[in-house]
Structure formats: C-alpha cells, structure tokens
Amino acid sequence: MTVSSAPGKVYLFGEHAVVYGEPAVPCAIERRATVTVDARDDDHIRVEARDLSLDGFTVEYADDTAERPDVDVPEDLVDAAMGYIDAAVEQARDAADAPDAGFDIIVESQIPLGAGLGSSAAVVVAGIDAATRELGVQLSPEAIADRAYRAEYDVQDGQASRADTFCSAMGGAVRVEGDNCSRIEAPNLPFVVGFDGGAGDTGELVAGVRELRDEYDFAADTVESIGDIVRSGEALLTDADPAAEPMPELLAELGRLMDFDHGLLEALGVSSRTLDNMVWAAREAGAHGAKLTGAGGGGCIVALDPTPETRTALRYTAECRDTFRAELDREGVRAASASANDGDRDETESEAT
Ligand code: PMV
C-alpha cells in the first residue's frame, strides 16, 4: 500500500489570463488530497472517493468505462472524479511501463470539488505519485507536475494551464507562464477563503473568456492587463523577505492588485453574484483585498486579512457556506503514512461493480 498527499491552491493572481500565455501566481495551501493505492493481481481499477461528495462513492471497472456504475451521486461528479483518476492511472502505468497494472484506490480530500481550490490537480498529482511508487518508480516533483498537467490537459480537452498541477506538485508560491514554471520565495500571506458551496464549470468559463477575447479587442486588452497585474504583484513578492511576517504596506499593495484583478475577471464574465457578495463582505470587513480564485462562476474567493474580521463577516454572509484561514503550504506532493487515512472513514459510501 502506498499513500501520497498533495495540496490545493488559491490563485493570488492570474487565472484565466494564464491560459493565453500571461503569467499567474498560484499559492499552495494547507488543504490536501490524499490518495492510497494498492496494486491488484488483475487490471481492474477500484476507486473509493470520500469527501468529494457528501456521501462518497465506490466504483470498480476494467476496460469498459462506458458502462458506468449505478451510484447515488450526480453522474457528472462521478464522471469528473473518474476522469481525473483514470488519467492519473494512465500516466502512472506509462511512467512505470506497466500498461496492465490494476489498483485499489482510495481518494480522500479536504478540498471542495470544482470550487477553485485545485482539487482535481491535487488528486491527480497525489494519484500519480502514489501509483508510480506502488509500482516501484520514484518520479521527481517536476516529472509528476508534467505528467499531472498532461492528465488534466486530456481530461479538460486542452483547456488547462500548468498552474494548478505545478503548484500542487511543488508547493509554495509559484509562477507559471506558458511552459515556464518556477517557485517564488514568498512570505506566508494571511489568506482567508470563503466558499459559497457551489462549483463552476471550468471548460465553459474558459470558453466564454475565449469567445469574448476573440470578439472584442478590449477583452483581449483586459486579459493582457491581468498579466500586468501579475507582473506587478510578483515584483512585490520577490522584494519581500520570505521569512518575515508580511508588512502591512505589502499586504495593502497586494490587496489593491487583487481587487483590480477581481474587477477584470468580473468584466470577463467569470464572477457570480455569490462570489461578488463574498468579495464585498471581505472588503467591508477590512480585508486588504479580495478576489475570486480559480475558474469562477461559483466556488471560492480568497481575501488577505491577518485579523479575524473577514472570517467573522463571511460567517454572517448569507452566500457563504464555509470560511477558513488557508496557510501557505511550502511542501508539495509528499509520501503520507497509511495510518493518516485510518481516522475519519465515512461509512456511508455505496459500492457498485
Ligand atoms: O478552478 P480551477 O482551480 O480549476 O482553476 C482554473 C484556472 C483557469 O486559469 C481558469 C484554467 C487553467 O487551467 O489555468
């Protein structure tokens, strides 16, 4: 049995624009997906997913993935989760030159699905690491990031940047511009996340921005302006002392850039009323800045606030289902112990073959 975990992330700046070659700065956060893998004697894949939905589910299949099991969760959720796990398994089989390897897989996640916190990237990264190590192959975090990107690219029909997968594999704050990915030494920023309980459709949202950008020069300029914001924010981060508490002036400047970024994302049509309401609740509570994170349409916002005020305000905001502080996680994908998974098992999962 082999267990790996990998972090989720928030975008400090740059989602959507990164799809068109502008830079982005995602930051890994201390919320992880954990994947446990056991090699099987046959070529079947059995997946038990917990916490991806309220009830969790278990499915087992061999080659014929078209015949989907009858499980008590929405089909698109099963398809989404299974698609990423399938793609991770394919990458692991390829890396280990073991095309017929079969696995029992358990996925546990502290990251809400499709909410802009990089849940799918974390599952794919941890899944590739656990499955390759189970087959006796140790990949570097960079190699896992690359394979995870290819897996996401396949599942998302080419509508994926390297941002989520590189950030999850490497940890910390990272900079992604096209195929160029690197770590940034950043201070621990006081992130507060607000979650509306929903999810956006990344493919649809990316397609919407692409259409606007193709139709209007000012939309293309908006995407480029997001790139300018990222470059300004990145310069602030690289000038800061990564070991020190961030100075209020730095937080104020980063916050102003986050507010600007959210405004441009809103103009590109990827925000929503619930995300905007949470952003405004955070700003009115005194956060240095607030913006949506990830694809948008619903899901999460991220605010900068070292005080408890933003979380308190979000708790009293009708649109906010959950709020939490998200520490920067400087560690990316890592081996986890099997016992880490034994604690809070959900007994409500259903099983189908
Ligand atoms: O919502 P998430 O965490 O999947 O982030 C999507 C970010 C986009 O820039 C919209 C797409 C991408 O692949 O970078």
Q: What angle do CA 66, 70, 73 make, to 5 degrees?
A: 105
Q: For residue 118, which atom of ligand 1 is closest to its CA?
A: 3
pLDDT for 116 beyond 60:
yes
Mutate to test the pocket of ligand 1, among 12, 164, 268 (most ligand atoms within 8 A of CB): 164
Comparison of pLDDT for 113 and 322, the residue scoring more: 322
Q: For residue 115, which atom of ligand 1 is closest to its CA?
A: 1
Ordered strands of the 300-304 beta sheet: 289-292, 300-304, 191-195, 322-326
| The amino acid at 202 | T
Please tell me the least confidently modeled range out of 79-83, 184-188, 263-267: 79-83
User: What is the tens place of the pLDDT at every residue in 291-332?
Assistant: 999 999 999 999 999 999 999 999 999 999 999 999 999 999
Which residue from 10, 31, 26, 45 is spatially nearest to 108, judged by alpha carbons? 31
Mutate to test the pocket of ligand 1, among 16, 230, 268 (most ligand atoms within 8 A of CB): 16
Measured in degrees and rounded to the nearest 5, phi and psi for residue 29 equal -125, 160
- Place 74 in a pLDDT band, splitting at 50, 70 and 90: low
Residue range 115-135: average pLDDT?
95
133 — alpha (psi -120 to 50), left (phi > 0) or beta?
alpha
- Place 54 in a pLDDT band, splitting at 50, 70 and 90: very low
DSSP 246: P
Cα–Cα distance for residue pair 194/294, rounded to 1 Å: 13
pLDDT at site 158: 76
- Place 37 in a pLDDT band, splitting at 50, 70 and 90: very high
Question: Which one is catalytic: 51, 146, 164, 259?
Answer: 164
Cα–Cα distance for residue pair 67/61, rounded to 1 Å: 8
pLDDT at site 328: 94
Active site residue 164: yes
Give me ligand 1 centre to Cα 34, in Å: 21
> What are the residues whose beta carbons fall under 8 Å from the beta carbon of 148, sequence distance 6 or more?
88, 91, 121, 124, 125, 128, 165, 168, 169
Nearest-CA residue for ligand 1 atom 14 is: 161
Give me ligand 1 centre to Cα 294, in Å: 5
pLDDT for 60 beyond 70:
no
Cα–Cα distance for residue pair 163/174, rounded to 1 Å: 8
Cα–Cα distance for residue pair 39/226, rounded to 1 Å: 45
Pocket of ligand 1 (CB under 6 A): 15-16, 18-19, 116, 118, 160-161, 163-164, 202, 206, 294-295
- Place 348 in a pLDDT band, splitting at 50, 70 and 90: very low
User: What is the tens place of the pLDDT at every residue in 215-264?
Assistant: 999 999 999 999 999 999 999 999 998 888 888 999 999 999 999 999 99
- Place 53 in a pLDDT band, splitting at 50, 70 and 90: very low
Which residue from 82, 95, 55 is spatially nearest to 348, judged by alpha carbons? 55
Which two three-digit tokens encode residue 113? 């699905």
pLDDT at site 75: 62
